[in-house]
Amino acid sequence: MTIAESQELVDQWIKTHGVRYFNELTNMAILTEEVGELARIVSRSYGEQSFKPGEEQEDIGNELADVLWVLICLANQTGVDLTQAFQKNLEKKTGRDHRRHHQNPKLNS
Protein backbone atom coordinates (compact mmCIF):
# COMPACT_ATOMS: atom_id res chain seq x y z
CA MET A 1 0.00 0.00 0.00
CA THR A 2 1.35 3.42 -0.93
CA ILE A 3 1.30 6.46 1.33
CA ALA A 4 -1.35 8.03 -0.91
CA GLU A 5 -3.47 4.88 -0.68
CA SER A 6 -3.09 4.97 3.10
CA GLN A 7 -4.24 8.58 3.21
CA GLU A 8 -7.28 7.72 1.10
CA LEU A 9 -8.09 4.62 3.18
CA VAL A 10 -7.96 6.59 6.43
CA ASP A 11 -10.13 9.35 4.93
CA GLN A 12 -12.75 6.83 3.80
CA TRP A 13 -12.69 5.08 7.18
CA ILE A 14 -13.19 8.39 9.03
CA LYS A 15 -16.09 9.33 6.76
CA THR A 16 -17.70 5.88 7.10
CA HIS A 17 -17.02 4.93 10.73
CA GLY A 18 -15.75 8.02 12.47
CA VAL A 19 -18.40 10.61 11.53
CA ARG A 20 -15.70 13.29 11.11
CA TYR A 21 -12.08 14.03 11.97
CA PHE A 22 -11.33 15.20 15.48
CA ASN A 23 -10.05 18.77 15.28
CA GLU A 24 -6.35 19.33 14.68
CA LEU A 25 -5.56 20.19 18.30
CA THR A 26 -7.30 17.05 19.57
CA ASN A 27 -5.45 14.92 17.01
CA MET A 28 -2.15 16.51 18.04
CA ALA A 29 -2.87 15.57 21.65
CA ILE A 30 -3.83 12.04 20.57
CA LEU A 31 -0.61 11.77 18.54
CA THR A 32 1.39 12.81 21.59
CA GLU A 33 -0.42 10.18 23.66
CA GLU A 34 0.26 7.46 21.07
CA VAL A 35 3.95 8.40 20.83
CA GLY A 36 4.10 8.17 24.63
CA GLU A 37 2.66 4.65 24.52
CA LEU A 38 5.25 3.70 21.91
CA ALA A 39 8.03 5.25 24.00
CA ARG A 40 6.92 3.24 27.01
CA ILE A 41 7.20 -0.03 25.10
CA VAL A 42 10.57 0.89 23.57
CA SER A 43 12.01 1.98 26.93
CA ARG A 44 10.96 -1.30 28.53
CA SER A 45 11.90 -3.54 25.60
CA TYR A 46 15.22 -1.95 24.60
CA GLY A 47 16.16 0.41 27.44
CA GLU A 48 16.93 -0.03 31.11
CA GLN A 49 13.32 -0.07 32.30
CA SER A 50 11.42 -3.32 32.76
CA PHE A 51 7.77 -4.22 32.58
CA LYS A 52 5.97 -4.16 35.92
CA PRO A 53 4.76 -7.45 37.41
CA GLY A 54 1.55 -8.46 35.66
CA GLU A 55 2.05 -5.81 33.00
CA GLU A 56 1.48 -7.20 29.55
CA GLN A 57 4.10 -6.48 26.89
CA GLU A 58 2.34 -4.55 24.14
CA ASP A 59 2.84 -5.10 20.42
CA ILE A 60 5.25 -2.46 19.14
CA GLY A 61 3.85 -2.85 15.61
CA ASN A 62 0.37 -1.98 16.85
CA GLU A 63 1.67 1.12 18.62
CA LEU A 64 3.61 2.23 15.52
CA ALA A 65 0.42 1.78 13.49
CA ASP A 66 -1.51 3.93 16.00
CA VAL A 67 1.07 6.70 15.57
CA LEU A 68 0.89 6.38 11.78
CA TRP A 69 -2.93 6.49 11.83
CA VAL A 70 -3.10 9.76 13.74
CA LEU A 71 -0.25 11.25 11.68
CA ILE A 72 -2.21 10.44 8.52
CA CYS A 73 -5.34 11.99 10.03
CA LEU A 74 -3.42 15.21 10.71
CA ALA A 75 -2.01 15.22 7.18
CA ASN A 76 -5.44 14.67 5.65
CA GLN A 77 -7.17 17.38 7.61
CA THR A 78 -4.41 19.92 6.98
CA GLY A 79 -4.17 19.17 3.26
CA VAL A 80 -0.70 17.65 3.31
CA ASP A 81 0.20 15.14 0.60
CA LEU A 82 2.52 12.90 2.63
CA THR A 83 4.09 11.36 -0.48
CA GLN A 84 5.23 14.77 -1.72
CA ALA A 85 6.20 15.94 1.76
CA PHE A 86 8.26 12.80 2.38
CA GLN A 87 10.02 13.03 -0.99
CA LYS A 88 10.87 16.68 -0.37
CA ASN A 89 12.11 15.87 3.13
CA LEU A 90 14.28 13.02 1.85
CA GLU A 91 15.85 15.31 -0.74
CA LYS A 92 16.59 17.88 1.98
CA LYS A 93 18.19 15.26 4.23
CA THR A 94 20.20 13.79 1.35
CA GLY A 95 21.61 17.16 0.36
CA ARG A 96 22.32 18.26 3.91
CA ASP A 97 23.57 14.98 5.38
CA HIS A 98 25.19 13.25 2.39
CA ARG A 99 28.59 13.04 4.12
CA ARG A 100 27.79 14.30 7.60
CA HIS A 101 27.10 10.95 9.25
CA HIS A 102 30.11 9.28 7.62
CA GLN A 103 32.29 12.00 9.14
CA ASN A 104 30.78 11.69 12.61
CA PRO A 105 33.39 10.04 14.89
CA LYS A 106 30.61 9.03 17.30
CA LEU A 107 29.15 6.77 14.62
CA ASN A 108 32.44 5.43 13.33
CA SER A 109 34.05 4.25 16.54
Task: Count the neighbouring beta carbons within 10 Å of the beta carbon of residue 73.
Answer: 23
Tens digit of each residue's pLDDT (9 = 90 or more) over 29-72? 999 999 999 999 999 999 999 988 887 778 999 999 999 999 99
The CATH class for the domain spanning 3-82 reads mainly alpha
Q: Is 62 left (phi over 0), alpha (psi -120 to 50) or beta?
A: alpha
* Mean pLDDT for the chain overall: 94
Q: Which amino acid is at 21?
A: Y
Indicate whether 107 pLDDT > 90: no
The distance of Cα 69 from the centroid of its chain, to the nearest Å, equals: 8
pTM of the model: 0.88
The pLDDT of residue 55 = 79
- Listed by start position, the domains of the chain span 3-82
What is the rounded CA–CA span in Å between residue 37 and residue 66? 10
Residues 6+ apart with CB under 8 A from 66: 34, 37, 38
Instruction: Please give the residue that has the higher pLDDT: either 68 or 109.
Output: 68
Check if the beta carbon of residue 60 is closer than 8 Å to that of residue 13: no
The pLDDT of residue 54 = 82
Check if the beta carbon of residue 35 is closer than 8 Å to that of residue 64: no
